[in-house]
Amino acid sequence: MEKLLKISRIIDTFTERIGRYASWLVLVMVILGVWNVIGRYLGRITGNNLTSNAYIETQWYIFDLIFFLGAAYTLKHNEHVRVDIFYSNWPRRRKAIADLLGTLFFLIPFCIMVIIFSWDTIVASWQIQEASSDPGGLPRYPIKAMIIVGFVLVIIQGISQAIKNLAIIQGRLEPQEENHDTGL
């Protein structure tokens, strides 16, 4: 179990780094969005085009990157959406069992299915070097590949979560206190 927990720590460190880097993309996306708005209005005043479809699509692509690179980070920090009518009152060991089963029977199979079903579309996009149909738009094939990258990252983090939950069930790892701070 110690070797598995070491692997889990390596995965967690990797996920943490990617998530932190992805969080900086939020700032880039906001700055680009502000420029798109300001540029549109200043362009009308000056009669010059200060923004473009490429800028708008870049903003969309950055949002995609935040989502695909941040999903595993969100899983690691247990911040994904859940309806926890019963779960919130369960003891940590029962939560670990539910999380382990959910990871093994739902999360990982779902991610694998997304990768399988999107594979042909992504390969075709790369083969034709798919681009936006908008004037001045960006290539679409690189961002489509992020579908696979994002879901592989979630699978890898799911493996880490499964290892930690198994260790909690076996009593070899103390559960981390969950932060349910409501801000009150």
pLDDT in tens, 117-145: 999 999 999 999 999 988 888 999 999 99
Number of domains in the chain: 1
Residue 40 lies in a domain: yes
CA nearest to 87, candidates 3, 180, 18: 180
Under-70 pLDDT residues of the chain: 177-184
pLDDT at 51: 81
Neighbouring residues of 64: CB distance < 8 A, sequence distance ≥ 6: 143, 146
Residue 184 lies in a domain: no
Residue 94 lies in a domain: yes
pLDDT at 183: 35
Residue 133 lies in a domain: yes
Residue 183 lies in a domain: no
Residue 99 lies in a domain: yes
**Token output for 133:** 């149909």
Domain limits for position 105: 2-169
pLDDT at 7: 95
Chain center to CA of 118: 17
Are 76 and 157 in contact by the 8 Å Cβ rule? The answer is yes
